[in-house]
Amino acid sequence: MAANLGYLGRNKNECMFDIEDNVITRVVKTTVTNRLVQIYANKNNEMIVQFVNSIPEKTELTEVVSFIWEWFDLERDLSPFYKMAKGDSLLEKPVQEFHGLRVIGVPDLFEALCWGVLGQQINLAFAYTLKRQFVERFGTSIEFNGKKYWTFPTYKQIAKLTPEDLGDIKMTVRKSEYIIGIAQLMNSGELSKEKLLAMNFKDAEKSLIKIRGIGPWTANYVLMRCLRFPTAFPIDDVGLHNAIKFLRGSEKKPSKEELIDLSLNWSGWQAYATFYLWRVLY
């Protein structure tokens, strides 16, 4: 749990959850209502989940556990990844330092797509600022102990907006158009997580890239963190390039050919390799 808490707590501008004394507090949407929950590890390193100031219905217990299971990618056995990484010159040190780290997901497809669009061609700190502005402008919140805990805006809500409605958020007009367009595709049913999960990796990637504002980087980011394809590989990611430069002690970023060659050893685990390399710097 420690490696995952370290990742989750790396940016103080995160608005979707709060971490204090190794306890994660966040809102989880259920089919009944929004529930505020706290997640922490006990002395046996077992994950404990408790509801804050509310008594859930039985169906909600399953929904919340399912969300957390997906958020932390708990279904996946990492033993084969660690076996591979021990013999990999780039991954050997990161897997030792961050052992136990999982690809922390973004289970909601609309949130994952928005986060991908918001992060395009800007630094991570500014992306978090845009995300906070967007969430606090259009999301809902639950207040507890003087703090607000936010839910991400729904695609149904954003689909009704125009770029002018997003004008007070410091993103480009084009990004506003992309996000509204994605919301409208989801609202019409043309785009959904279920449809993408029913496809193989290549078809899902092609479907995402067809969407205005979604290029190969954003598509693979979503395939990695929301749709959970282990072969997702954002090969053009600047953070990935910088991590490789750092680990090699090089001033030169790796070429695409080098990245393809490196990733041959990561076959079936490209998403996890990328995530661990990101963690070296972020």
| Residue keyed to tokens 């076996």 | 83
What is the distance between the alpha carbons of residues 266 and 274, in angstroms, rounded to a whole number?
9
Residue 166: partners with Cβ closer than 8 Å, 6 or more residues away: 134, 137, 176, 179, 180
Q: Among 18, 73, 108, 237, which one carries the catalytic annotation? A: 237
Which helix or strand (DSSP H or E) is residue 3 part of? helix 2-8
What is the distance between the alpha carbons of residues 115 and 144, in angstroms, rounded to a whole number?
26
Long-range CB contact pairs, 188-194, < 8 A, 24+: 191/109, 192/109, 193/109, 193/226, 193/227
Give the pairing type, strands 147-150 and 17-20.
unpaired
The CA dihedral of 38, 42, 45, 51, to the nearest 10 degrees, is -20
What is the distance between the alpha carbons of residues 277 and 237, in angstroms, rounded to a whole number?
11
What is the distance between the alpha carbons of residues 216 and 233, in angstroms, rounded to a whole number?
9
Which helix or strand (DSSP H or E) is residue 258 part of? helix 256-263
Is 165 an annotated catalytic residue?
A: no
Positions annotated as catalytic residues are: 237
